Homo-oligomer: A and B are copies of this chain.
């Protein structure tokens, strides 16, 4: 499959010809199933997203759901860091990605988060995740070939060590705090309903 090949050589190097060769077939045969090489890329990305933990946990609080799902997404990208999935330009309009977005959205909707809060929270988390993953996978990529000076200035240190699990959670906590501040005076005790049956 395209994702396995991407793990080996990077998604940007998955060409019609190489993928076809891997499948023991000619490149042109792939056009029966995918319209272009970009379509194969977003299909591989959507497949990777099926590995993300988005199942509902009865009684789970909304902020714990955010911590769990965002961590799972980050881990998925790290697991496939050699595949450079962050370089895939997904419009979000393709069916595989839509399914994932819808699943997470429903999770929070069912928790009873008011729609305007959810909208704003969604947007900032989406942007933060995208940026963090972009930066972190790039850094994982280039870390080894950096000069790694001991006498680095503070600003350089900050820019270079910008990505780690701790940093990721710091950001998520800041955002959760910001959402609480935004929702005031709502006590924010939204949570996944207990299993009704």
Contacts and interface: CB of A to CB of B under 8 A. Distances in A.
Interface of A: 87, 89, 91-93, 98, 101-102, 105-106, 109, 115, 118-120, 122-124, 126-132, 134-135, 138, 142, 146-147, 153-156, 158-160, 162-163, 167, 170-171, 173-175, 177-179, 181-182
Contact of A109 (B89, B105, B154): B154
A153 B138 CA distance: 34
Contacts of A163: 123
A170 B124 contact: yes
A174 B167 contact: no
Contact of A182 (B101, B138, B174): B174
A interface secondary structure, majority = helix
Contacts of A130: 130-132, 134-135
Contacts of A106: 155
A87 to B, nearest CB: 7
Contacts of A127: 128, 131-132, 134-135, 162, 171
Contacts of A146: 91, 93
Nearest to A105: B155
